Amino acid sequence: MLDCTDGSARCGRFLTSHGSVETPIFMPVGTLATVKAMTPEVLKSLGTQIILSNTYHLHMRPGEDLIAALGGLHKFMGWDGPILTDSGGYQVFSLAKLVKINDEGVQFTSHIDGSRHLLTPEEAVRIQEDLGADIMMCLDECVAYPSTREYVEVSVRRTIQWAARCLAAKKTGAALFGIVQGGMYPDLREVCSQELSPLPFDGFSIGGLSVGEDHEIMMNMVEETVAHLPADKPRYLMGVGTPVDIVESVFRGVDMFDCVLPTRNARNGMLFTRHGKMSLKQATYRLDSSPPDESCTCYTCRNFSRAYLRHLFVSGEILSSILNTIHNLHFYLELMSDIRHSIREHRFRDLKKKVKEMYDD
């Protein structure tokens, strides 16, 4: 449901069986049914509306049958808000071994135990329904960058066929998003968008980006894709990104984001602040009694110094990951809240400019 716009930037709401989600939104990544170093209670306190979990990893371990037997993914992980699951296709292509792709699906060898598997569009939907996801993704083929036009053409046709099969396989009331592919070829992304748009999907994802291309190419592909998607359904840019990626994509009409960056960087001692990135590895913070970001209201900044956070990180303490992740997720979720307010007040361009000044390296 679209509420307001500021240029192409949009504010809206998406309803699920576990609550509504305000967009634009960032989804913390909980690959293995957990956002690393976070409890569900802390995630809620930070303003998390929806989290993402990974179909491939949960299928491999502990298995969707076990999760279903224990009451579904929400009960299993103690999270009562909305959950989006990806199809698992990207992880198959990037993690599994001996991958063979054909029109039927993807044959692959598990990266955990070497067992053989076949992931079809029907199987991807079944696994996600067994998990109990609120929003499911179609199985698609995410091509490498760079890829030849000839291969991407075949891949796009296969992705479109798989999307129709995913729709036919759907049995529950969970939302299902189609995924637009097309590599870095604008006309192929247009073809994929135009063929998927008339189908009864609940939203559309932009896939196959942030795979090694530069920022300008990625933004061009986002713009080319969004131009051919329905205005009345959510648009989700998968696996992106940095603060600059987010504001530039919102500027082009994207509503939903996920990325491991805030949580992974937190574990590696890198914080996002309103003054740019901060590396706790630097010795300059050894005697610094200031909070990481004096303008931040998160638990970490209200209670701990840069010196203490640096000490925790260089000592390898578990608390380092916890406090750093609290701060980074707070930063990202506050950024999304600021984006939503700026759109409603028709000052999004000013916010975008400020973010780019802080983070456009």
Domain encompassing residue 206: 2-260
Q: Is residue 341 part of a domain?
A: no
User: Quick one: which of 272, 268, 244 has its CA closest to 257?
Assistant: 244
Q: Is 21 helix (H, G, I), strand (E, B) or coil?
A: strand
Comparing C-alpha atoms, which of 43, 9, 35 is closest to residue 23? 9
pLDDT surpassing 90 at residue 189: yes
Spatial separation of the C-alpha atoms in residues 257 and 357, rounded to whole Å: 21
Domain assignment present for residue 305? The answer is no
> Is 80 part of a structural domain of the chain?
yes
The band of 91, judged by pLDDT with boundaries at 50, 70 and 90, is confident
Average pLDDT of the segment spanning 330-349:
98
Residue 188 in domain = yes
Query: Strands across the sheet with 116-119, in order?
Result: 97-101, 106-109, 116-119
Determine whether 354 is exposed, middle or buried from the number of CB atoms within 10 Å of its CB (0-12, 13-18, 19+).
middle
> Residue 283 carries which DSSP code?
G
Residue 230 domain-assigned (yes or no): yes
Q: Residues 210-255: pLDDT tens digits?
A: 999 999 999 999 999 999 999 999 999 999 999 999 999 999 999 9
Confidence label for 361 from pLDDT (cuts 50, 70 and 90): low
Q: Which amino acid is at 85?
A: T
pLDDT of residue 105 exceeding 80, the answer is yes
Beta strands in the chain (DSSP E): 2-6, 9-16, 19-23, 25-27, 51-54, 83-86, 97-101, 106-109, 116-119, 135-137, 175-180, 203-206, 235-237, 256-258, 270-273, 276-279
Catalytic (active-site) positions: 86, 258
Q: Bridge partners of 178?
A: 204
> Helix crossing, 215-226 with 186-196: angle to 10°?
30
Query: For residue 318, what pLDDT is reported?
Result: 98
Mean pLDDT score across all residues of the chain: 96
CATH of the domain at 140: 3.20.20.105
pLDDT at 360: 77
Question: pLDDT above 70 covers what percent of the chain?
Answer: 100
Structural domain includes residue 265? no
* Residue 176 belongs to a domain: yes
Number of domains in the chain: 1
Of the candidates 307, 314, 309, the residue with the CA atom closest to the CA atom of residue 299: 309
Q: Is 327 part of any domain?
A: no
